[in-house]
Amino acid sequence: MTSRVDEILGYYGSDHPGVLKNLRWMMETGTLAGTGKFVILPVDQGFEHGPARSFAKNPSGYDPHYHYQLAIDAGCNAYAAPLGFLEAGAREFAGKIPTILKLNNSDGLFSPEDPKPAVTGCVDDALRLGCAAIGFTIYPGSCDRNEMYMELRELAEDAKSAGLVVVVWSYPRGSGISKAGESAIDVVAYAAQIAAQLGAHIIKVKPPTDHIEQDAARKVYEAEGVDVSTLPARVRHVKQAAFGGRRIVIFSGGAAKGTEELLEEIRGLHEGGGFGSIIGRNSFQRPKEEGMELLKTVMEIYKS
Amino acid sequence: MTSRVDEILGYYGSDHPGVLKNLRWMMETGTLAGTGKFVILPVDQGFEHGPARSFAKNPSGYDPHYHYQLAIDAGCNAYAAPLGFLEAGAREFAGKIPTILKLNNSDGLFSPEDPKPAVTGCVDDALRLGCAAIGFTIYPGSCDRNEMYMELRELAEDAKSAGLVVVVWSYPRGSGISKAGESAIDVVAYAAQIAAQLGAHIIKVKPPTDHIEQDAARKVYEAEGVDVSTLPARVRHVKQAAFGGRRIVIFSGGAAKGTEELLEEIRGLHEGGGFGSIIGRNSFQRPKEEGMELLKTVMEIYKS
Amino acid sequence: MTSRVDEILGYYGSDHPGVLKNLRWMMETGTLAGTGKFVILPVDQGFEHGPARSFAKNPSGYDPHYHYQLAIDAGCNAYAAPLGFLEAGAREFAGKIPTILKLNNSDGLFSPEDPKPAVTGCVDDALRLGCAAIGFTIYPGSCDRNEMYMELRELAEDAKSAGLVVVVWSYPRGSGISKAGESAIDVVAYAAQIAAQLGAHIIKVKPPTDHIEQDAARKVYEAEGVDVSTLPARVRHVKQAAFGGRRIVIFSGGAAKGTEELLEEIRGLHEGGGFGSIIGRNSFQRPKEEGMELLKTVMEIYKS
Amino acid sequence: MTSRVDEILGYYGSDHPGVLKNLRWMMETGTLAGTGKFVILPVDQGFEHGPARSFAKNPSGYDPHYHYQLAIDAGCNAYAAPLGFLEAGAREFAGKIPTILKLNNSDGLFSPEDPKPAVTGCVDDALRLGCAAIGFTIYPGSCDRNEMYMELRELAEDAKSAGLVVVVWSYPRGSGISKAGESAIDVVAYAAQIAAQLGAHIIKVKPPTDHIEQDAARKVYEAEGVDVSTLPARVRHVKQAAFGGRRIVIFSGGAAKGTEELLEEIRGLHEGGGFGSIIGRNSFQRPKEEGMELLKTVMEIYKS
Amino acid sequence: MTSRVDEILGYYGSDHPGVLKNLRWMMETGTLAGTGKFVILPVDQGFEHGPARSFAKNPSGYDPHYHYQLAIDAGCNAYAAPLGFLEAGAREFAGKIPTILKLNNSDGLFSPEDPKPAVTGCVDDALRLGCAAIGFTIYPGSCDRNEMYMELRELAEDAKSAGLVVVVWSYPRGSGISKAGESAIDVVAYAAQIAAQLGAHIIKVKPPTDHIEQDAARKVYEAEGVDVSTLPARVRHVKQAAFGGRRIVIFSGGAAKGTEELLEEIRGLHEGGGFGSIIGRNSFQRPKEEGMELLKTVMEIYKS
């Protein structure tokens, strides 16, 4: 009988075995090993929001080693961070947990309406740091979206030929859409489709709301009676948009919120068949024990 | 006696045999094999218009395998799609039908007046996916037209040296021309000429109307009595503009429309000597049997 | 139900879809299309033995077009030849039959005991000539074998990344082994293993005799009771040596011989599960009708 | 005694013999062979002005072969065209006449004040098409002039190392100068200097008028009494600006005009020592016999 | 017992030994050898402010050799300058003191609100000049910040693979922040984090004031009670922001000021655990003996 992990690997028939090796590594790591589900710890807030806003609540987080250890101790599938954070711990934690090198980042000292991150690393960096994957953020809806798509295209080509998994954060944002539109179901589904068409192996989107942003889309959702009334239904629709379930789609935890609210959302994501969650601020901005407990509770949901 | 296929291949004397091999593959595939005519299935709407608007009517279309199989079962000459859709089926369908990797795409979450798609793949991708051709869209009339021409130039150079056919979607659009001008006969003929001069092997344009957009052109059309009164006459003129018939020119089906209206248009394209049609939404946004029936009826027209 | 062709393609999971496309093209061409069996026409004798020795018997063979047409008319899966012969017909026959560019050749004007052919073409040549595959000869047993293995390695790497099939002629010869050893079962099985280990997709060896060349091997064959008593048994053993049947192994026709003798051998190869034959001199050194009849009879055996 | 052709080749002492070979080929071709004079047929209007405006008057011109044959039959030194037009006839006319691949072009569907053509071909294209030269247009006075200079620099470097002649169309245009300034004597002389400094072998400018565009220049022209009163005097001054006669300077025929008016201008260019003319629309927009007669009359003037 | 130098080298576990060699060279040079502290002499004012503004006060400074000798005689760890200054003395002073090639510079003849220096050298230059490190300035807060980050990324990748240390001047400036914000504690800490995340080995920032620039940051500083009341406290916070002390952070001397004021600041930096200072104008714009005395006094503070 084909295991769930092998079934998922079977979706990636155009990729060479080097990519499958790293994808399997991620799916055979941590508490969720073998389930085909993911809980990933990302820590790029130091770059994105500044160090004090990110780490002052739990000052252990200033130390790059803290996050490696947190991801391992909590049983995560992988740990994602920008170049500097990985460089500062890659030797000590080499091979202990799959890492994802985040290859583009924005800082908060200049905030244009249409975001366009800087490319801050490359595939050779990911190889020398022993990473399993590269991560890249695209902002559909930004006037600079095409530059990001084209940067991603080149990095993804390099990554695939080097056997690295390509993880795409697909976050609609910018002058093309409204604030509510950033997590609207039609926009999130579209964002998943764009990432998949650009060749992503793993796609990260926001949990979608029942708002519909684009008039042309609303007509179709209504005419065809696409069910977007509940979070599970919306997750199912997003998976459909990601090649009928043939691509791994995981969900962000979003802004820091109450624990119960977060867990409720995770339950909806799981019920809809989501492949997992990426949980950053909600885990490392608490004391380590609390953060680990939260991550473990999330994993329990995905194992159920 | 030289077959029609060999006659057409004879127009491409500057291309090396590797290109001719793939051009022959396309012309010797499907229901129209050997006729020198084309019916191609393109599916890039998931990227261009979003997944629900593209596939909700016929949800089988969310699955990338569906379109490969539809193109094969309907007897198409080739199937065209962006990177992700081809990656998701290239192993399973390797060699079963010629594929065209669409190398640039625009999404609908940001819509500037002057379109400029992102380059989303490269010739090495086309080789590893076993494609017969690359596809590329240019938008003459856009302020960014030259960037597209230059991207096409580089990709076409790579494609020709790798033995791949170059298919160019030449769609006038942007602040340089009016909405009616996008399918005006002078503009469509000009768009065919530009694609041919840029080195396209196969040129895709819209069925032209009898509108004339540019004053300088109108004077000539009137002075020389160029017949643009009927669709067949206009198709003949577009072929003339594509190096006097020495380049393959095929026509889009345009926005979804009624079946009879579409077939009437196809009859006009065929009467004027058009090399064929690319039919996307009108085929995959219906139940499979209906879509196949439509495609087969179109092929019957081109075989007549 | 998986077809035999798809089953065979399934053995090549490390290759990207571009390679599978060309492998499928070879398996879906000619009389044996769809059976997973091969009959290939190779014509490199002009270089190897000189033109008169090769073509004077049937002077039509001086013309490179003759062999293209013979391979097509006889229903072969592919035609293999050195650079010059393919260049001289690639445009006219582009895409009509899969071609294999033989990338190394020896001439007969200097004949060392230990053969080492010259590399006479490259993967870019194969692409511009529209080939489906490259062909390369290695001579295990020659003091220069490692040079050949290393040349093959580089060419195979290029070929695989360009989507071309790698066909290896693995012919033990040289000061390392006796004349009888060139077709000894232990040596032929070893030659198949070497080609497979070097990454060949298709391996061509000689029909093995029941001679055992190496003492160290003989002990094992006897101790383990490996059956090498009949040609079918030996073919089964060679397939075993080629990764337990996971690599395509085809057999040479050897020196020109009587028709019945040849067909008897083919029956033995087929009974043992051989994937097919490469038949050169026995086909093109006869009048065309006779050559075609022979090839067709061979194909009938492989279809039975 | 040194021939005029050798004298001219002597000006290009920094170029290697491959370039001289092609320059000699152009000067030893056609009616003006051996005179050191040039009449070149350029046909890029299909791209620049659209097909109907270019070819409807004489519909034979839609066929790319027509212009090759016209240039040969009229006895031109060379034929210049964009990629597509050369690709469509390069095999049939290989080696029959020197060709110049025009490497940048603008279309008329979008017309900004400051022109910046697209690069539409490269030196490898010129080599595979058997060209003698590349052609490139620069627009001094455009805000994008530096981009063009830099594109030219790279292409010229490639061309020279591949042994191709570099022909530069130097046409001042854009927001930096007035309409009258485009053919002002000071501006045309400056444009010739820029092209020469950028490494052009052959420079094409417009016949200069006696208008002086720049105040700073006028002071010098007046103070030094530079004679710009007649066309021959102005041509002498332009040659002076092109390294004191050490660079070949030829002149455009400009917009279609009356035959006698054109011939009068040619006589002035010849009297001033101009190296020749490029005549496009005035030759191919007439019936072939008329076009040939015109070209032959022009050649007679340059031979006198 | 691990020396302080080895302890610091231990922070750079992802770098290969070639980088560590150069980092050790810097830490084992001059008066502060072995202490893990740095005093570096930078001289890029000639490019940034113009020669007279930089050197007229102490005309010996026009001579590039002067600064090499000053750095050596004063016992500095390293000397930093742009390409031209190093080229003019690299042979004479080869190996006498570690040098840092400043790879980007702005001149004062055009001063946009948002600074973006030109890249003026490359890693190959640093290698041929025998440098220990490259230096690069980024301006977080400038609308062009991402271009700088991406230039730095590429240069840092090259530098690390060549075994060179990467020193980053991280100076917030531009339309994203106020003038006071350029040295605000939250902004300086953020600037240190950005440089660290981009892979800097040594980070140079301005001594931070107690101003807080960003509202979102102020909330956190107040809520978490981060102490920014004194310079030592702020230096401790900046070190925290630089990966919890795992990256070397040094401080600029800022604009020329009185000696006692400067030394007072140095004492604060030292008390907070700063790794050292870069002191340019305050040293070379005085007579040599005075400049040396100042530098030595600073070193005394860091040794205490």
Residues E245-268 have pLDDT tens digits of 999 999 998 665 788 999 999 999
Task: Please name the chains neighbouring B, where neighbouring means 3+ C-beta pairs under 8 angstroms.
Answer: A, C, D
Tokens of B63: 């699955």
Tell me if chain B has a CB within 8 Å of the CB of A113.
Answer: no
CB contact under 8 A, E191 and A124: no
Tell me if chain B has a CB within 8 Å of the CB of C19.
Answer: yes
Mutant choice from A9, A139, A146 vs B, greatest count of B C-beta within 10 A: A146
pLDDT of residue B241: 96
pLDDT of residue A253: 83
Tell me if chain E has a CB within 8 Å of the CB of A62.
Answer: yes
CB contact under 8 A, C17 and A14: yes
**DSSP letter (8 states) at residue A183:** G
Task: Measure A117 CA to nearest chain E CA, in Å.
Answer: 7
Mean pLDDT for the stretch of residues E132-160: 96
The region of weakest confidence among A281-290, D6-15, D256-265 is D256-265
Torsion sign, CA atoms B150, B155, B160, B166: negative
State the DSSP H helix or E strand holding residue D277, giving kind and residue range, or none if neither: strand D276-278
Tell me if chain B has a CB within 8 Å of the CB of D120.
Answer: yes
Interface of A with C in 175-214 (CB under 8 A): none
Tell me if chain B has a CB within 8 Å of the CB of A13.
Answer: yes
- Option in C20, C28, C127 nearest B130 (CB): C20
Tell me if chain C has a CB within 8 Å of the CB of A225.
Answer: no
Q: Evaluate if residue C102 carries a pLDDT over 70.
A: yes
Alpha-carbon distance B158 to B127, whole Å?
11
- Cα distances (angstroms) measured from residue C41 to each of C8, C59, E51: 21, 17, 78
Q: Do residues D28 and D34 lie in contact, with contact meaning Cβ atoms separated by under 8 Å? A: yes
- Identify the CA nearest to E291 among candidates E41, E37, E52: E41
Q: Pinpoint the alpha helices (H) of B129-276.
A: 145-161, 185-197, 215-224, 231-241, 259-271
Alpha-carbon distance B14 to B119, whole Å?
26
Q: Do residues C105 and C128 lie in contact, with contact meaning Cβ atoms separated by under 8 Å? A: no
Task: Measure B28 CA to nearest chain C CA, in Å.
Answer: 9
Alpha-carbon distance D29 to D40, whole Å?
11
pLDDT of residue E50: 84
Spatial neighbors of C199 by CB under 8 A, at least 6 apart, are C153, C156, C160, C166
Torsion sign, CA atoms B284, B287, B288, B291: negative
Tell me if chain A has a CB within 8 Å of the CB of C16.
Answer: yes
Mean pLDDT for the stretch of residues E62-90: 94
Q: Which residues of A touch C13 (CB under 8 A)?
A: 17
Spatial neighbors of B215 by CB under 8 A, at least 6 apart, are none
Over the stretch C149-162, which tens digit does the pLDDT of each residue have? 999 999 999 999 99
Q: Which residues of A touch E208 (CB under 8 A)?
A: none
pLDDT of residue A1: 65
CB contact under 8 A, A17 and C14: yes
Alpha-carbon distance B135 to B169, whole Å?
7
- Cα distances (angstroms) measured from residue C10 to each of A7, A215, C15, C16, C23: 16, 46, 10, 11, 11
**Strand positions, DSSP E, chain A:** 38-42, 78-81, 99-102, 104-105, 118-119, 133-138, 165-170, 202-205, 248-252, 276-278
Amino acid, single-letter form, for residue C51: P
Tell me if chain C has a CB within 8 Å of the CB of B96.
Answer: yes
**DSSP letter (8 states) at residue C173:** -
- Give the pLDDT band of residue D216 (cuts 50, 70, 90): confident
| DSSP string computed for A81-137 | E-HHHHHTTTTTTTTTS-EEEE-EE--TTS--SS--PEE---HHHHHHTT-SEEEEE
Give the other-Cβ count within 10 Å of A44's Cβ: 23
Taking only Cα atoms into account, the Rg of chain C, rounded to an integer number of angstroms, comes to 18
- Option in D53, D121, D122 nearest B220 (CB): D53
pLDDT of residue A180: 96
pLDDT of residue E253: 83
- Cα distances (angstroms) measured from residue C47 to each of B300, C109, C136, C286: 49, 10, 14, 19
pLDDT of residue C1: 62
- Option in A141, A143, A198 nearest B83 (CB): A198
Helix (H, G, I), strand (E, B) or coil at D121: coil
- Identify the CA nearest to A278 among candidates A89, A79, A36: A79
CB contact under 8 A, B95 and C24: yes
Searching chain B, which residue's CA lies closest to the CA of residue C161? B128
Mean pLDDT for the stretch of residues C177-196: 95
- Torsion region of E95: left, alpha or beta (phi above 0 gives left; psi -120 to 50 gives alpha): left
Tell me if chain A has a CB within 8 Å of the CB of E9.
Answer: no
- Option in B140, B143, B150 nearest D107 (CB): B140
CB contact under 8 A, B96 and C24: yes
Mutant choice from B28, B91, B164 vs C, greatest count of C C-beta within 10 A: B91
CB contact under 8 A, D107 and B226: no
- Give the pLDDT band of residue D279 (cuts 50, 70, 90): very high
- Cα distances (angstroms) measured from residue A276 to each of A188, A202, A285: 16, 11, 20
Tell me if chain E has a CB within 8 Å of the CB of A56.
Answer: yes
**DSSP letter (8 states) at residue E209:** B
- Identify the CA nearest to A171 among candidates A184, A162, A160, A161: A184
Spatial neighbors of E114 by CB under 8 A, at least 6 apart, are E139, E142, E143, E144, E174, E175
CB contact under 8 A, E243 and A90: no
Alpha-carbon distance D138 to D116, whole Å?
8
So which residues of C are the catalytic ones? Answer: 204
- Identify the CA nearest to C237 among candidates C198, C301, C302, C187: C187
pLDDT of residue E52: 76
**Strand positions, DSSP E, C64-164:** 78-81, 99-102, 104-105, 118-119, 133-138
Tell me if chain A has a CB within 8 Å of the CB of C51.
Answer: no
Searching chain E, which residue's CA lies closest to the CA of residue A48? E194
Q: Which residues of A touch E223 (CB under 8 A)?
A: 56
CB contact under 8 A, B162 and C127: yes
Amino acid, single-letter form, for residue A54: S
* Backbone torsions φ then ψ of C100, nearest 5 degrees: -120, 115
Amino acid, single-letter form, for residue C163: G
Spatial neighbors of E240 by CB under 8 A, at least 6 apart, are A51, A55, A59, A62, E189
Q: Evaluate if residue C264 carries a pLDDT over 60.
A: yes
Arithmetic mean of pLDDT over chain C: 94
- Option in E145, E147, E221 nearest A52 (CB): E221
CB contact under 8 A, E190 and A108: yes
pLDDT of residue D146: 86
Q: At what angle do helices A231-241 and A259-271 cross, to 10 degrees?
A: 50
Q: Which residues of B touch C36 (CB under 8 A)?
A: none
pLDDT of residue A54: 94
Over the stretch B109-161, which tens digit does the pLDDT of each residue have? 998 999 999 999 999 999 999 999 999 999 999 999 999 999 999 999 999 99
pLDDT, tens digit only, all 304 positions of chain A: 689 999 999 999 999 999 999 999 999 999 999 999 999 999 999 999 999 999 999 999 999 999 999 999 999 999 999 999 999 999 999 999 999 999 999 999 998 989 999 999 999 999 999 999 999 999 999 999 999 999 999 999 999 999 999 999 999 999 999 999 999 999 999 999 999 999 999 999 999 999 999 999 999 999 999 999 999 999 999 999 999 999 999 999 866 578 999 999 999 999 999 999 999 888 999 999 999 999 999 999 999 9
Over the stretch E47-73, which tens digit does the pLDDT of each residue have? 888 887 888 889 899 889 999 999 999
pLDDT, tens digit only, all 304 positions of chain B: 689 999 999 999 999 999 999 999 999 999 999 999 999 999 999 999 999 999 999 999 999 999 999 999 999 999 999 999 999 999 999 999 999 999 999 999 998 999 999 999 999 999 999 999 999 999 999 999 999 999 999 999 999 999 999 999 999 999 999 999 999 999 999 999 999 999 999 999 999 999 999 999 999 999 999 999 999 999 999 999 999 999 999 999 866 578 999 999 999 999 999 999 999 888 999 999 999 999 999 999 999 9
Amino acid, single-letter form, for residue C113: E
Tell me if chain C has a CB within 8 Å of the CB of B161.
Answer: yes
Alpha-carbon distance A243 to A195, whole Å?
11
Mutant choice from C15, C91, C158 vs B, greatest count of B C-beta within 10 A: C91
Alpha-carbon distance E239 to A51, whole Å?
11
Q: Would you call D253 exposed, middle or buried from its count of C-beta atoms within 10 A (0-12, 13-18, 19+)? A: buried
pLDDT of residue D281: 86
- Option in D51, D57, D91 nearest B14 (CB): D91
pLDDT of residue B254: 63
pLDDT of residue B69: 97
Tell me if chain B has a CB within 8 Å of the CB of A139.
Answer: no
- Option in B9, B22, B91 nearest C20 (CB): B91
**DSSP letter (8 states) at residue D253:** -
- Give the pLDDT band of residue C110 (cuts 50, 70, 90): confident
Task: Measure A177 CA to nearest chain E CA, in Å.
Answer: 22
